[in-house]
Amino acid sequence: MRISDAFVEKLLKKTKKVEGDALKDLLARAKTEKKPLQELVVSSNLMSETELTKAYAEEIEVPFVEIDPKGLDHELLNTIPERTARQYMAVITGIGDDNVKEIAMEDPDDVQAINFLQKQIGSSIRIYVATRTNILAALDQYRGNISTEINEVAAEGGDEEAEEEVSKEDLAEDSPIAQTVNLIIEYAIKSNASDIHIEPRDKHVQVRYRIDGVLKEANKLPKRTQAALVSRIKILSGLKIDERRAPQDGRFKITMNGRSFAFRVSTLPITDGEKVVMRVLDESSDPATLEQLGFWGQSLKDINEAIVQPHGMILVTGPTGSGKSTTLHSVLNILNKPDVNISTVEDPVEYRLLGVNQTQVNPVAGMTFVNGLRALLRQDPNVIMVGEIRDGETASLGVQAALTGHLVFSTLHTNNAATCLPRLLDMNIEPFLIASTVRVVIGQRLVRKLVPEESESYTPDEKEVKEIEHAFGIKGQEDWKRIGALLESAQAAYQKEKTSKLTFWRPKKDLADDKTGYRGRMGIYEALTVSPEIQKLIMSNGTSEEIQNEAMKAGMLTMQMDGLIKAMLRLTSIEEILRVTRE
């Protein structure tokens, strides 16, 4: 449901969630980014979707309801055909004591929809308002539990013995195998999974999904489906069905509910057969802003200053799956203007950016990072992005490009920002070249975001405070005072209420089995600006510890400290920060 900007502004003022200059800034941001105010309020964690919908329901005097999707009566649910329910975003949730059917809607002001539903049902109805997310979860019940459906479809026909040969019937579009693959993909998309793992085991096929960075087991399928499942995915990806002894890589696209998804497929022979991993990429989503990714304060300021320089090098570091590509593409989206020529060489091209010249690495055709970068330099670029610096030759070419008037972006696999600079020295790049070209190094990790309604606050006791101090390197009251000042700054940036005592949040202990207390992810960051003092350390072959200490002395917020502040803002938990930053 789209609530008008004027109505959202009214709700913000009434609930006192955002006032004064903060509200003016938010309205200006909505205008600049051309996004609905409603979307910004939720994405900026000013109000949850539930809080905003409740306030809206109260204002228009329509009761709010929270649907329990699993508790819905399927016979009653089917009173409204699925197609109609999805069209009007309406779900029949029950029958009142007065025998009036109760319907939850996303938009209770849609008079045309209400009249149609009343005719469809043929009796009196009572309207409630629910969140879009809640209604979508309820609509999924028309299909039943997808996970259960996968098991049921995969079990159709045949015995449990493994089959090496794949019949034509197995690969037909309407076969149980094809339906199983479709359902696995559908489940991944609806769960916001980033990866699908289909793994052959001794007696079954295990399906797992990586959701919010954590791998979770889902379905155990009959062993006999193994070869057919892999073959079906190979057909979709344009891979060789009969090649089972060597790894293969492919790609395919699908459209679901008006959104386009790309699947990057990798097959690998293992002991019990061929394993398949599919990376899920939502091509319909717009690149997030740096603020939406989780940048704030001095880090945000340093990055914004660095990316408008006409030349130099900006590096992003972190392990695989830490969101480096997402950060770089968000920056490129900021720089993407008609008078700027942006060229990239990537492996693979994960995000498509309109107006950016993106090249896919293809070693078989001789298109490596090195050869691609050489070719890009002859294309009159202003901005160059190299997906990854893997060797000294690529690093050397990148530095030379930065020296000759180009703004160069790339990534490195190091644990933090400070270790990136000695890593370049290890690649035999001259210290004076690193010191004169590198502007900023960003270190990052991804943490799961707490769901406000599924989390609870707690005040750590003396023992827990000491554990936090030890884990985060806090050495007394002076450090706590600095953290307090940073927290005040972050509360202003995220427009959160100030708290007078040390408070953290964690998932509630009594959550249902299918809830974790987390949904979605955000980044924790450090932005190391190469100051004159750090340039001197680079020139003298300083260690990463010396560079880190100098950067912190100059005011750099480390990833762990950024995470601690975000844990105090109810964005994530202490446990999440420690999970992703422990080395």
- Residue 49's alpha-carbon distances to 46, 54, 141, 568, in angstroms, are 10, 9, 21, 21
CATH architecture classification, 145-282 = 2-Layer Sandwich (3.30)
State residue 121's pLDDT score.
85
3 state SS of 435? helix
Instruction: Give me the sign of the Cα torsion angle 189, 190, 193, 197.
Output: negative
**pLDDT at position 167:** 61
pLDDT at res. 5: 86
Give residue 147's pLDDT. 66
Q: Which residues pair with 269 in a beta bridge?
A: 274
Contact indicator for 272, 200 with CB cutoff of 8 Å: yes
Answer for the pair 185, 263: CB distance below 8 angstroms, yes or no: yes
**39 contacts: CB under 8 Å, gap ≥ 6:** none
Query: How many CB atoms are closer than 10 A to CB 396?
Result: 19
Rounded distance, CA 263 to CA 402, Å? 34
Domain spans, the chain: 5-60, 69-141, 145-282, 290-446+520-558
Angle between helices 49-60 and 5-15 (to 10 degrees): 100
CA 446 to chain CA mean position, Å: 8
- The answer to whether 434 and 421 are in contact (CB under 8 A) is yes
Q: What angle do CA 61, 66, 67 make, to 5 degrees?
A: 125
One-letter identity of residue 136: L
Residue 400: the pLDDT is 94
Which CATH number fits the domain 290-446+520-558, given the four candidates 3.40.50.300, 3.40.50.2000, 3.30.450.20, 3.30.230.70? 3.40.50.300
Sign of torsion over alpha carbons 472, 478, 484, 487: negative
Beta bridge partners of 211: 193, 214
Query: Is the sign of the CA dihedral 147, 153, 156, 161 positive or negative?
Result: negative
pLDDT at 352: 86
What are the structure tokens assigned to 117, written together? 């539903």
Q: What is the pLDDT along the chain (583 residues), one digit of tens a residue?
A: 678 888 888 888 888 888 788 888 888 888 887 788 888 888 777 888 899 999 999 999 999 999 988 788 888 888 888 888 888 999 999 998 888 899 999 998 888 889 898 888 887 899 999 998 899 888 877 766 666 667 777 777 455 555 555 666 666 677 888 989 999 999 899 888 999 999 999 999 999 999 999 999 988 999 999 999 999 999 999 999 999 999 999 999 999 878 899 999 999 999 999 999 999 998 887 888 999 999 999 999 999 999 999 999 999 999 988 999 999 999 999 999 999 999 999 988 888 899 999 999 988 899 999 999 999 999 999 999 999 999 999 999 999 999 999 999 999 999 999 999 999 999 999 999 999 999 999 999 999 999 988 899 999 999 999 999 999 999 888 999 999 999 989 988 887 777 767 899 999 988 877 788 999 999 999 999 999 999 999 999 999 999 999 999 999 999 999 999 999 999 999 999 999 998 5
In which region does residue 130 sit, left (phi positive, over 0), alpha (psi from -120 to 50) or beta (all else)?
beta
For residue 156 the two structure tokens come to 């159709």
* Dihedral angle computed from the Cα positions of residues 359, 364, 369 and 375, in that order, rounded to the nearest 10 degrees: -60
Chain centroid to CA 365: how far?
Answer: 32
CA 490 to chain centre: 21
- Pairing type for strands 342-346 and 357-360 reads parallel
Kindly report the CATH number that applies to the domain delimited by 69-141: 3.30.300.160
To 5 degrees, how large is the angle CA 311–CA 283–CA 345?
35
Q: SS3 sequence, 482-511?
A: HHHHHHHHHHHHCCCCCCCCCCEEEECCCC
In terms of Cβ atoms closer than 10 Å to its own Cβ (0-12, 13-18, 19+), residue 242 is exposed
- What confidence score (pLDDT) does residue 38 get? 87
Amino acid at 227: A
